[in-house]
Amino acid sequence: MISDQRMIIRQFLFGKFYFNYIFVPDNTNSKNSNIMSVSRFGVSLEEELLTALDSYVTENNFSNRSQAIRYLIEKNLVEQKWKCDNLVAGAIVMVYSSQKPEIRNRSAELQLMYRDVVIGVQQFNLSEQNGMEIIAVKGASRRLTELSDKMIGIKGIQHGKLIMSKTE
């Protein structure tokens, strides 16, 4: 029963979706508890979007829609931090032909130029023909994106991707 609790009702826009958010404070947890309070809310979606959400849940092995929505909101918040040029951490992952030493040489040159954001590098032999390099980075999102674009643009890179996450 919630008669002795305050309900907070809000509506917010996330991408192109409007969410009605009803928050009922959970006063059962003590201040020292490490358990995060969870709020429940209802979402109205067109049938097409609901089908797409269910497919997303299945394809990404989420146990339920809530986990998928939580992941998408967190992902959106991180991407907003990238746009604001906040401090982020991440990895640049590249797959390339290991038959071409100039790829590793150019990668090493760029890492030196960006040594203020490169915090570690790991190289792997995937096969006789292909190698993979993972570069751990931390810094302003603009600077990481700049480095990533240059790395992935090296001639001979077969696939590359920058993965970033908030540091706070």
Both 71 and 127 in one domain: the answer is: no
Residue 1 belongs to a domain: no
pLDDT at 15: 52
> At 61, is the secondary structure helix, strand, or coil?
coil
Residue 18's SS3 state is strand
Structural domain contains residue 145: yes
Reported pTM:
0.56
Range of the domain at 17: 8-26+40-83
Q: What is the pLDDT confidence band of residue 165, given thresholds at 50, 70 and 90? A: confident
CATH number of the domain where residue 160 is located: 3.30.70.1150
Would you say residue 130 lies in a domain? yes
- Per-residue pLDDT of 103-158, as tens digits, reads 999 999 999 999 999 999 999 999 999 999 999 999 998 899 899 989 999 988 99
Number of domains in the chain: 2
Q: Do 77 and 113 have their domain in common? A: no
Alpha-carbon torsion (73, 11, 87, 151), positive or negative: positive
Is residue 2 a part of any domain in this protein?
no
* Residues 44 and 102 placed together within one structural domain of the fold: no
Give yes or no: residues 102 and 137 share one domain.
yes
State pLDDT tens for residues 17-43. Answer: 555 554 545 544 445 545 567 777 777
- The reply to whether 77 and 97 lie within a common domain is no
In this structure, the answer to whether residues 94 and 117 fall within a common structural domain is yes
Residues 114 and 96 both lie in one domain: yes
Percent of the chain topping pLDDT 90 = 35
Instruction: Judge if 100 and 155 occupy the same domain.
Output: yes
Reading the block at residue 165, the tokens are 């996450």
Number of neighbouring beta carbons within 10 Å of residue 91: 18
Query: How many other C-beta atoms lie within 10 A of the C-beta of residue 164?
Result: 21
Q: Are residues 68 and 97 in the same domain?
A: no
Which among 45, 39, 53 is positioned nearest to 10, based on CA atoms? 39
